[in-house]
Amino acid sequence: MSSFRHHLSIGSVGADPATLSWWRALRALAALNVGLWLAVLIAGPSRGVHAQLQLALSGVYVLVCAYRSLFPRVDLERLVVVDTHLSSIFLGRSAATIAEICFALQLGLMVHQLGAHAGLAWVQNAAWGVPVFMIVAQAFCWHSVLTLNHITQAVESTLWAAGFSWIAALLGAVALHGSGWVQSLALLGVLGAMAFVAYVLTVDVPMYCRRYRQGRARGMVYMRLDEGARDAWQRRVPSGSWVAWKADALWLTPYFSFGVWASIAMVCIPGT
């Protein structure tokens, strides 16, 4: 434990006040989120196979997000707050891949559950297309992380937007045919999904396309996959500069807050 605190204290040396405040907020969110998940584990309103599966998938997502909140990183830039092996880009991306697949499965299961409550068998079947978008997106993400090519990171984000668009379409059908809490929850899901799509297409994708153009203008040489794997495992660029972090803080902060809360909330959807 003392070694862990030592690593965290090293990360704060020379950091900008804004960076420190943001990092403290991430750590507070991590503690809050773990507490919320434990509360749902102990006193969750839903029981049954669906709820237990949602709980397990959410648990992975919550824990990985807590780990990433303690050791923030930006993959392609190899940027870290704390210069330790726990901040390894390769290690962090591996954990994130597992967590994001779990979250994608949660989303598919959620749509499947609501489709069942609305009596829409075709929505239940179509729901399993939801995680396909996100799982395919992981391959593009890894390509960008290993080659340092931001354009495939833009493709990854676009696939997430496509997946959430599919969610919005399916939940729209549930809202039209459902009633009561099912209809209300479906409408809330449509609004949340479309807000995410709008955010990705106006913030994330333009940011990655801009970084791709800047890299090309600098004569960026992309790595081979094997070179990138070694680089992602070994190289870290520690920085406490808010200028370096503020662009990515725009997506990291909602990822570790609203994203985690959505994951935990999905555990509470009643089974059929």
CA–CA separation, 172 vs 237, rounded Å?
44
Say if residue 4's pLDDT is above 60. Answer: no
Q: How confident is the model at residue 270 (pLDDT cuts 50, 70, 90)?
A: confident
For residue range 202-216, list pLDDT tens digits in order: 999 999 999 999 999
pLDDT digits (tens, 9 = 90+) for 155-186: 999 999 999 999 999 999 999 998 999 999 99
Determine the pLDDT at residue 46: 66
Q: pLDDT band at residue 5, thresholds of 50, 70 and 90?
A: low
Looking at residue 15, its pLDDT comes to 79
Report pLDDT digits (tens) over 10-19.
455 567 999 9
At the topology level of CATH, where does 2-266 sit? Answer: Rhopdopsin 7-helix transmembrane proteins (1.20.1070)
DSSP string, 31-87: HHHHHHHHHHHHH-S--SHHHHHHHHHHHHHHHHHHHHHHS-EETTTTEESS-SGGG
pLDDT confidence of residue 21: 95
Can you give the pLDDT at residue 246? 92
Task: Name the amino acid, one letter, at 3.
Answer: S
Could you tell me the pLDDT band of residue 244, with boundaries at 50, 70 and 90?
very high
Tokens encoding 166: 């599919």
Q: Where are the domains of the chain?
A: 2-266
Packing angle, helices 150-177 and 130-147, rounded to 10: 170
**SS3 assignment, position 120:** coil
